[in-house]
Structure 1
Amino acid sequence: MASSTIILVVRPRGRPIKNLPESITISPEDSAAQIFEKVALASKFPAHRLRVTKGSDGSPIPNTGDVTVYQTGLRNRSAIDVKDLGPQIAWRTVFVVEYLGPLFIHPLFYYGRPLIYGTSTPPSGLQKMTFIMVTLHFLKREFETLFVHRFSNATMPARNIFKNSAHYWLLSGLNLAYWSYSPSAPTARASNPLVIYLGIALFVVGELGNLSNHYTLKKLRRPGSTERGIPQGLGFNLVTCPNYMFETMAWAGIWLINWSLSTAVFIVVAAAQMAAWASKKEKRYRKEFGDKYKRKRFVMLPGIY
């Protein structure tokens, strides 16, 4: 590999970027992330707001330190296309905002029953249990967002925060809370103790299993790296994404406690989305790791999907 510097021709793509350089000089041994840094420095544009692709075939250049310029296939006088992705927001921030919705909305309905439903009757035992389980679930989500998850991409388009938050603020927030804490809700009446115990067991196993899976996935990627490994451990020999399996299990436990149609709707919508993600991940594992990866017949729920 030649160690001398090379010149990359920079071309704008889409909306104009003020001060975008016509070319940059870089070493083939530099990381691909250096391309972003040089373009960002010259144009005074945030690096995470830029998408850089090869001019020859349109394939993306990764903003990572794990790949060199030479490994991307770029050579002297190769062209790169630079696109402005628009205002960005950190993935971690989006996750925090998403989960704050239910953490704010559920206490509002639980403690505001006299104003919202016009009743002075205190919440039933099942309503209290529903409130505790939902709160613990989303507190766990916030903990994982801040201390466990590592994100492949640092940012996403800022406008996506409204679309992403709607799922949690509306379905597991307003919709679930309103019907769960109503005086006429199934949670306002007594339930079979065996069903309650089963719901609690599913919730506890699901939450702990999901947390364990997230720690497993965290260990597969070094801090600041996008490099992936093949996950091993609890549930990964059964399905591609056992974290989604345990997530569904935890919500099934909540549903057995409150028997609310709103909870069932949330589970169906969430499970459908997670199933789509799991299917894509199975395809990516097969493509990325080849024969090293033990292919899974079921991606999320053993014997079902």
Structure 2
Amino acid sequence: MASKPITLVVQSRGKPIRKLPKETSTYLQGSTFDLYHRLAAEAGCTVHRLRLTKASDGSVIPNAKDFTIERTGLKSQDTIQVKDLGKLCRQLGSEDDADQILGPQIAWQTVFVIEYLGPLLIHPLIYFLRPYIYSNASSAPSSLQTLSCVLCTLHFLKRELETLYVHRFSNATMPMRNIFKNSAHYWIFAGFNIAYWSYAPTAPTARPGNTPITLLGVALFVIGELGNLNTHLVLRGLRSSGSTERGIPKGLGFNLVTCPNYMFETIAWVGIWLVTWSLSTGIFIVIAVGQMAVWAKKKERRYRKEFPETYRKKRYGMIPGLF
């Protein structure tokens, strides 16, 4: 039996989107992925900046190739609302004109690669250039300094590989000017800040360490990195390539907190801190945990809003018993 065509009423949600059609035709067996792309093309927007919701109950319509219009519960003459998430809908006649107002855009994947590339290069660079950086660095680096460099390098190498082969981004691009702000956190605090003080001749890592504590640090690092990778693989499985649909993640850690990837990230960095015993590492952990706690809280609110009937609410966002 052929799929039945239906007509949907289209409204802007929030700031009006120029040239957004007042209605659109689709099929019950058509995908919401096609609906997103059709509306984006007609409105002159990038599809990654749109969010569609049902006017009847405010529920989000996923951008998914395997999610049909029929599954959303929409019927002919129902109203859908379109929100411009990034204020990028500008009908100026050409993409070049839009870039002049919006500024050059850069892919999120590229942003992540550049962010993590800083500390990935800075740590081994300062480690190997110790004799030229520190006036009294006459001796070879200690075993703890070597271990610190290895752990930090492995951490950010893993980040780069996940960015290239694991992560699927809901938004395609961001303004290029934001890359400087986003990269400062990693280049300055995780790169120069930790590396300069950890590889100095007077650093705690330059002295003999406590073997049991060092081994505990390495164990926490391994547990944290593997747990973090597992969480990212679970999140990847929720979204098909080229779409922005969301789902409810399940698996290791998700029964405890909203974002177990942040929990495992914290465990890994505590492990690095137990190896370096560096104040600079501790400062970075405090800053990073604070930021991740904010993100986890926002994600919990988003899950509750998007899946009000099926999502199991969490009390803690990233660390059980704390926040």
- TM class by shorter chain equals 0.7 to 0.9
Could you tell me how far 1:91 is from its partner in structure 2? 1.1
The DSSP-based 3-state class of the residue aligned with 1:299 is: coil
Picking from 124, 138, 147, the partner of 1:120 is 138
* Correspondence 1:262 to 2:280: yes
The residue type paired with residue 25 of structure 2 is S
TM superposition shift of 1:304: 1.6
Correspondence 1:142 to 2:160 = yes
Do residues 271 (structure 1) and 271 (structure 2) align? no
**Consecutive unaligned residues in structure 1, runs of 5 or more:** none
Which among 262, 265, 274 is matched to residue 247 of structure 1? Answer: 265
2:312 counterpart residue number:
294
Contact 2:51 2:60 in 1 (8 A): yes
Question: CA separation of 1:243/1:9 partners in 2, compared to 1, >3 Å: closer, same or farther?
Answer: closer
1:122-271 matches, within 5 Å, as 122-271=140-289
Match status 1:47 vs 2:51: no
User: 2:316 and 2:60 mapped to 1: Cα distance?
Assistant: 32
Map of 2:119 onto structure 1 = 102
Change (3 A) 1:158 1:184: same
Output the CA distance in 1 between the equivalents of 2:283 and 2:257.
Answer: 24
Change (3 A) 1:84 1:136: same
Name the % identity: 53
Give the equivalent residue in structure 1 for 2:25. 27
Distance 1:115 1:219, change over 3 A: same
Q: Which residue of 1 aligns with 2:107?
A: 90
TM-score, with length taken from structure 1: 0.81
8 Å CA contact retained: 1:7, 1:25: yes
The residue aligned with 2:298 is: 280
Q: Secondary structure at the match of 2:106?
A: strand
SS of alignment partner, residue 164 of structure 1: helix
Secondary structure of 1:27's counterpart equals strand
Secondary structure of residue in 2 paired with 1:156: strand
User: What are the Cα deviations for residues 68-119 of structure 1, in whole angstroms up to 9, with x where unaligned?
Assistant: 5997899699997875362322111111111000011111110111111132
CA contact (8 A) 1:32 1:63 kept: yes
Aligned to 1:290, the other structure's residue is in SS state: coil
- The alpha-carbon deviation at position 21 of structure 1 amounts to 5.5
Q: 1:259 to 1:275 in 2, by over 3 A?
A: same
Quote the Cα distance in structure 2 between the aligned partners of 1:213 and 1:22: 38
Aligned residue identity for 1:84: L
RMSD (Å), alpha carbons: 3.6
Verify the 8 A CA contact 1:7 1:24 in the aligned structure 2: yes
| Shift in alpha-carbon separation, 1:25–1:282, aligned structure 2, 3 A | closer
The answer to whether the Cα contact below 8 Å between 2:36 and 2:63 also exists between their aligned partners in 1 is no
**AA aligned opposite 1:159:** R
Q: Aligned equivalents of 2:79 and 2:310: distance in 1?
A: 37
1:216/1:32 Cα in 2 relative to 1: closer, same or farther (>3 Å)? closer
- Match of 2:117, as an amino acid? L
**Change in 2 beyond 3 A, CA 1:183/1:73:** farther
CA shift digits 1:136-156 (9 cap, x unpaired):
000111111111111111222
Going from structure 1 to structure 2, the CA distance change for 1:197 and 1:98 (only over 3 Å counts) comes to same
Q: CA deviation at 1:237?
A: 1.4
Q: Say if 1:172 and 1:266, in contact at 8 Å, map to a contact too.
A: yes
Shift of 1:299: 1.6
Deviates more, 1:23-32 or 1:192-201: 23-32
C-alpha separation between the residues in 1 aligned to 2:143 and 2:39?
59
Name the count of aligned residue pairs: 297
Q: Which residue of 1 aligns with 2:63?
A: 64
Instruction: Give me the whole-angstrom Cα distance separating, in 2, the residues matched to 1:78 and 1:84.
Output: 20
Distance change >3 Å, CA 88–CA 207, structure 1 → 2: same
C-alpha contact (below 8 Å) 1:36/1:47 kept by paired residues: no
Deviation at 1:120, TM superposition (A): 2.8
- Which residue identity does 1:92 align to in structure 2? Q
Q: Deviations over 1:139-186 (max 9, x none)?
A: 111111111111111222222211111110110011111111111111
Query: Which TM-score applies when normalising by structure 2?
Result: 0.77
Amino acid across the alignment from 1:99 = Y
Q: Secondary structure at the match of 2:202?
A: coil
